[in-house]
A and B are shown apart, each in its own frame.
Chain A
Amino acid sequence: MSQIAWIDAALRGARPQAMAALVRHFRDLDLAEEAFQEASLRALKNWPEKGPPRDPAAWLIFVGRNAALDGVRKKKSERPLPPEEVLSDVEDAESAIVEQLDDAHYRDDILRLLFICCHPELPATQQIGLALRIVCGLSVKQIARAFLVGDSAMEQRITRAKSRVAGADVPFEPPGPVERAERLAAVATVIYLMFNEGYSATGGTAHVRASLCDEAIRLARLLVHLFPGSAEIMGLTALLLLQHSRTPARLDEHGEIVLLEGQDRSLWDRDLMGEGFALLDKALRHRAPGPYQVQAAIAAIHAHAKRAEDTDWVEIDGLYATLERLQPSPVITLNRAVAVSKVRGAEAALAMIEPLAKDLSGYFYFFGVRGALLLQLGRHDEARVAFDRALALANTPAEAAHIRSQIDRLTET
């Protein structure tokens, strides 16, 4: 691997910790970002010559703090920047800082930084955008492409979101256990939404959107590191890994959606799957079930099935029933109906989703599922009505193409 690629990976890996510490230090997002930028530039200059530091995050925090101080001094008295040799002392000073970065602080710092990004007054898309910009370090351009908006529009959104959160006083004292649990839950939700934004493909190219999934997984893994005993955080991470393992099989060569049943399972990513299974196993040992663990368990059943017809639908039906109890929602009932159709037939499934019609009247998947069930029952006229409605609600060309192929099947029979 080239040196630049290594440095790039090191900067990406160190960013959440370094940014979190810099925000604690400066108590200001913009200043912290500037300091991180400056430290990264110096890293690009310094590391190739002097070799990479033992602890990139500590180096960046140290240099970032000093660089920002220099900036302030420079503005005040136009004093020249210190010579580059000063930076060579960083290695010695580094070990001292590392000791100061005690783990409890570091953990709460990162949690705070993520929590600042998911301010409840911000709409979900802005929470995600802000986290991608501040914590993951994606460029405005990258984020704009993922959300299918222009660069300047995204720039504006992020600036607005930043000034919104700047006014929200998130205290810098370590939170109490209840507060910490609440922050963790809020942060988990944003990571989950970030992943879904990348996974659901409501727009943008597959490649750009997959990067959202990668970033969400990176943050989820980071949370497992910081909170190793949290079963739901392990469950969330397992869920994301298991879902993402199917990405290589989800679109065909024309970019059209391939449903789970039709996917070439040999394309599924075994590494991600294995990591997902391992985390789910660990989570279940805690006997503290939660929605993320249940969803991960459902994903794991799909992952374990060598062929679509080997899927244990009875188990999936049971897990969805558990999920309905933990987190009642019409969308979950809709998902359960798919499992029910496999176990007890399309008639039973249709009866199950009938009461959802009002709640889900604007939901693409509701009409897609309804149409498919009616098709199975040979009720073609009603199926056509449902598919037409789904077509009108389709979010992407791929979704529309999938519904059209279903309508074609109606015409053939």
Chain B
Amino acid sequence: MLYAILCYDSEAVVSSWTKEQDAAVTGKLEVVTDRLARDGRLGPVVRLMPTTTATTLRKGKETVVLDGPFAETKEQLLGFFIVDCASLEQAIETARDLGRANSSNGSYEIRPLRVFRPGSVAT
């Protein structure tokens, strides 16, 4: 089954990392994702821009466009991994591997995918 591993962390903290710290974390995460890719289990990986760049569209008869996400939460969705896992156990184990690579605070939300369309965007 495909799982999304959603990365929640404090944006204030993560954006305070120095360039070197950020690069070190990214490098360690790549070791894990490279292994997943070799096993044919890695789907798209996304890192989102800061929430300051976000825009919210309130749905309804008259849509409303708002600047930023308004939910005041301590942690923000910063990115996600899509990983193919045989079981929830394996998904949790994969999240643990990622967590060991990026030992900052925060949490991973593990959610099975209902629909997955790889899409056609060229990157």
Contacts and interface: CB of A to CB of B under 8 A. Distances in A.
Contacts, number: 71
Interface string B47-73: 001111101000000000111101010
B15 interface: yes
A103 B74 CA distance: 12
Contact of A218 (B16, B21, B49, B51): B16
A10 B49 contact: no
A10 B50 contact: no
B105 to A, nearest CB: 5
Interface stretch (A65-73, A251-259, A273-281, A336-344): A273-281
Given A9-B17, A275-B50, A275-B53, A14 B12 contact: yes
Contact of A10 (B18, B70, B103, B105): B105
Interface string B9-53: 010111111100100110000000000000000000000011111
Contacts of A9: 13-14, 16-18, 21, 104
Contacts of B12: 13-14, 57
Nearest to B65: A285
B74 to A, nearest CB: 5
B53 A278 contact: yes
A6 B105 contact: yes
Nearest to A269: B19
Interface in A215-241: 218, 221, 224-225, 228-229, 234, 237
Contacts of B67: 228-229, 234, 282
Given A228-B67, A279-B52, A285-B65, A6 B103 contact: yes
A55 B74 CA distance: 7
A57 B72 CA distance: 14
Interface in A148-176: none
Contact of B13 (A13, A225, A274, A279): A13
Nearest to A16: B12
Interface centre among B21, B49, B102, B105 (most CB of A within 10 A): B105
Interface of B: 10, 12-18, 21, 24-25, 49-53, 55, 65-68, 70, 72, 74, 102-105
B25 A1 contact: yes
A12 interface: yes
A5 interface: yes
A225 B12 CA distance: 10
Contacts of B21: 1, 5, 9
A52 B105 contact: yes
Interface centre among B12, B65, B74 (most CB of A within 10 A): B12
A128 B66 CA distance: 32
A54 interface: yes
Contact of A221 (B50, B104, B105): B50
A368 interface: no
A247 to B, nearest CB: 11
Name A's interface SS.
helix
A10 B13 contact: yes
Given A1-B24, A56-B10, A228-B66, 8 more contacts: A1-B25, A6-B105, A9-B16, A103-B72, A218-B16, A225-B51, A279-B53, A282-B55
B71 to A, nearest CB: 11
B16 to A, nearest CB: 4
A115 B4 CA distance: 43
A296 B112 CA distance: 41
Contacts of A103: 72
19 contacts: A1-B17, A3-B103, A5-B21, A6-B103, A9-B104, A10-B13, A10-B16, A10-B105, A12-B16, A13-B10, A14-B13, A221-B15, A221-B50, A221-B52, A225-B52, A225-B68, A228-B52, A228-B67, A275-B53
Contacts of B24: 1
Contact of B49 (A52, A57, A274): A274
A6 B12 CA distance: 12
Given A6-B104, A6-B105, A237 B13 contact: no
A55 B17 CA distance: 17
A56 B50 contact: no
A169 B114 CA distance: 58
Nearest to B49: A275
Interface in A270-309: 274-275, 278-279, 282, 285
A1 B103 contact: yes
Contact of A13 (B15, B25, B50, B51): B15
A168 to B, nearest CB: 29
Nearest to B17: A9
Contact of A282 (B10, B15, B53): B53
Interface string A90-111: 0000000010000100000000
B104 to A, nearest CB: 6
